[in-house]
A and B are shown apart, each in its own frame.
Chain A
Amino acid sequence: MIDLVHLIDLKLLALAFVTVFVSELGDKSQIAAIALGCSTKSVRAVFLGTALALVLASFIGVWIGGGMGYLLPTRWVKAIAAVGFIIMAVRLLLEANEDDEDNATDMPETSNS
């Protein structure tokens, strides 16, 4: 039987958890999770996508860490991500407008928007 307490430094584990948890609260990935979680048809697909993306990103952080900047042009990667978010936002706005046309008679109070 492997002694887990000696294999894993629990204090260090807690430190890593608290540091990352606090720094991610209200950060853009959590805001994205809120936005996608409230607008999606499949909460579990969004949860799995978000969680796996974040875990993979932190895995890469551990694995290549500082070498990341040399391996990937992070500015371009971020720009691509921004375009992805814009596409999702536009799609949501189009959907909202379609709903507007569908429900124009049901909900007249939104017709001025």
Chain B
Amino acid sequence: MMAISDEPLQSEKASSPTQSSDSDMGEPDRANLDDAKPSPQDTLTWKGELQIFLSTFLTIFLAEVGDKTQLTVFLMSAESGSPWTIFLGAGSALIATSLCGILLGRWLSQHVSPKLLERFAAVLLLAIATVLLLDVWQG
């Protein structure tokens, strides 16, 4: 956890193509998959990363507001009377599930062609949007 959260500081270094071998985020494998065109990893700036961070943060946050997890957390904290313990447990569980999801995604990105993967990811995102819109529709 700490190792990953420290990494944005090293993003400038990691974006250099000659040093991509010391990165543990799987870029070398991905670079091999799409070396036909200029690799996007090499040109990804700090600003670009911030943009990815913010778009991810905002959509996931808005999708989760008022969702069942939030209600569960609220009910548990009200029931138990020790909200910080519940927050600690729920927060670490959420970090763990998102880490699992992202690691699965990264594993896929190393084993499936980028183009197929982009379509697969797009379909998943559209499915999530549909679920959200159904929620909205049903109140």
Binding site for B on A (CB under 8 A): 8-9, 12-21, 23-25, 27-63, 65-66, 68-69, 72, 74-75, 77-86, 88-90, 92-93, 95-96, 99-100, 102-103, 106-107, 110
Contact = CB atoms under 8 A, between A and B. Distances in A.
Contact of A29 (B8, B48, B60): B60
A43 B75 CA distance: 33
Given A41-B48, A58-B91, A68-B70, A92 B118 contact: yes
Contact of A42 (B36, B44, B85, B96): B44
Contacts of B99: 47, 51
Contacts of B22: none
B17 interface: no
Q: Interface majority SS on B: helix, strand, loop or mixed?
A: helix
Contact of B126 (A15, A37, A79, A85): A85
Contacts of A50: 56-57, 60, 98, 101-102
22 contacts: A9-B85, A16-B86, A19-B90, A23-B72, A27-B69, A28-B63, A36-B121, A37-B105, A38-B106, A39-B118, A41-B41, A42-B11, A44-B8, A44-B25, A54-B61, A58-B73, A61-B72, A78-B132, A78-B136, A79-B133, A86-B125, A95-B118
A32 B132 CA distance: 12
B56 to A, nearest CB: 3
Contacts of B44: 41-42
Given A38-B109, A103-B115, A90 B52 contact: no
B2 interface: no
Contacts of A14: 89
